[in-house]
Amino acid sequence: MANIKNTLEHSIDFIEYFKHLKDPRQIGKSTYRLDEILLLVLCAVLSGADDWVAIALYGEEKQEFLQNFRPFANGTPSHDQLGNVFSAIDPEQFQQCFVNWVTALQNAIKGVVALDGKVLRRSFDKAGKKGAINMVSAWCSEQNLVLAQTAVDKKSNEITAIPKRLDLLTIKGAIITIDAMGCQRDIARKIIEKEADYIFSMKGNQGNMHKDIKRFFKKQKKVKSKNITMRCHKKNESSHGRKEVRKITVCSDVEWLQKRHDWPGLKSIIMIEYSSRTPQGETRRETRYYISSLDKEAEFMAGAIRDHWGVENGLHWVMDMLFRDDECRIRKGNAPANFTTIKHVASNLLRLAKGKISMRQKRHKAAWSEDYLLELITN
């Protein structure tokens, strides 16, 4: 192992950004320091642990390694103690520390930032009469990092959660993409005020505005866009025998729409026509509509929208398959939200680590090699 003996309080950026986090326990009655607990949980998660029992066992086996960074004078906590502490930590404070840490990792947010929700399926607490938590995350596709997240109890609360996440982030120059649930005037106004742009998916929740956009594009098809400027881009793809065609049409003649609906910063409306054919000959067609504060070429808009859906593979799939989100039974108090934040810290550290091996293999390597784990936590 690397020569780090006798280096108590060794600098670990993650811990430094969480040092102002308020300890929810009574002063003088805590056996284990809060920074010790956070370090233990992070190292255990990086090494493959996905619940309190596994993390507590990791602490017992890796105490000597952990003591290179913090005293751990009283050893490491039990799984019950870990659960109690994480249940009591204020998730908003915890999230603010996370955002401060992520902000320090990068110079500026670039490109598309996708805001999207994911339900933690097993986070429901029947005994506590608490439903499953929906985590709304901000995902930067260009930098491949989780920027922020917040927990809400119901899908409808994404509307109130999104502005809170935007308040935490410096998004000047970025493109914020949100699905139809977040297509709200107040959210659009917030993005414009922060000197960023947006692309929102449109569905029936916007009622007459959605209908007006659908009618407009339908009419323009019939008259072949006479007297209206339409910019189009078409892309054909083939994969595993499936053939896909995407056609995007962008129109920036939106004064008529603004007069009817007065939408903050609106500069263009978008239609994407999607069709696919399976090897068995089955055909699927779908048309989606978007609004945007951008006035760009169709190919650019297509790329930004495609980047938004990267959150599914880049974040949600990784959290399910690598960190076993859908199997996680942590559900007491604030623990589900706070533990998800720790997993996002681990995810970001694994993404930042050099090397061409997969994130799953990086977790294996962190479990097997203390030198590699040291590289991850001192990145």
* 321 CA to centre of own chain: 15
pLDDT tens per residue, range 44-76: 999 999 999 999 999 999 999 999 999 999 999
122 has pLDDT over 80: no
Q: Where is pLDDT greater, at 63 or 379?
A: 63
The predicted pLDDT at position 322 comes to: 87
Domains annotated for the chain, with CATH where assigned, are 13-90+342-377 (no CATH), 97-317 (3.90.350.10)
pLDDT digits (tens, 9 = 90+) for 72-102: 999 999 999 999 999 999 999 999 999 999 9
pLDDT digits (tens, 9 = 90+) for 284-332: 899 999 999 999 999 999 999 999 988 888 888 888 888 887 777 787 8
Confidence check: pLDDT of 10 > 70:
no
| Residue 63: predicted pLDDT | 96
SS (H, E, C) the chain: CCCCCCCCCCCCHHHHHCCCCCCCCCCCCCCCCHHHHHHHHHHHHHCCCCCHHHHHHHHHHCHHHHCCCCCCCCCCCCHHHHHHHHHHCCHHHHHHHHHHHHHHHCCCCCCEEEEEEEEEHHHCECCCCECCEEEEEEEECCCCEEEEEEEECCHHHHHHHHHHHHHHCCCCCCEEEECHHHCCHHHHHHHHHCCCEEEEEECHHHCHHHHHHHHHHHHHHHHCCCCCCEEEEEEEEEECCEEEEEEEEEECCCHHHHHHHCCCCCCEEEEEEEEEECCCCCEEEEEEEEEECCCCCHHHHHHHHHHHCHHHHHHHHHHHHCCCHHHCCCCCCCHHHHHHHHHHHHHHHHHHCCCCCCHHHHHHHHHHCHHHHHHHHCC
Q: What is the mean pLDDT of the chain?
A: 87
pLDDT digits (tens, 9 = 90+) for 234-286: 998 887 778 889 999 999 999 999 999 999 999 999 999 999 888 888 888 99
pLDDT band at 157 (very low <50, low <70, confident <90, very high): low
85 contacts 37 by C-beta, under 8 angstroms: yes
Cα angle, residue 147 at apex, residues 143 and 151 outer, rounded to 5°: 145
Please report the pLDDT score of residue 125 as a whole number.
53
The predicted model scores a pTM of 0.86
**pLDDT of 358 above 90:** yes
Model confidence band, residue 6 (pLDDT cutoffs 50, 70, 90): very low
Q: Between the CA of residue 143 and those of 102, 112, 149, 343, 379, what are the distances in Å?
A: 11, 9, 16, 18, 16
Tokens representing residue 315 in the block: 């974040």
- The Cβ of residue 154 has, within 10 Å, a number of other Cβ atoms equal to 10
State both tokens at 41: 């949980």
Considering only 11-15, 109-113, 241-245, 274-278, which range has the smallest mean pLDDT?
11-15
Determine the pLDDT at residue 123: 54
pLDDT at position 28, please? 76
Q: Is the pLDDT of residue 127 over 70?
A: no
Strands 197-202, 283-292: pairing is antiparallel
pLDDT, tens digit, for every residue of 168-214?
Answer: 888 999 999 998 878 889 999 999 999 999 999 998 777 799 999 99
Residue 129 has pLDDT above 60, yes or no: no
pLDDT at 33 over 50: yes
CA distances from 295 to 50, 266, 271 (A): 45, 9, 14
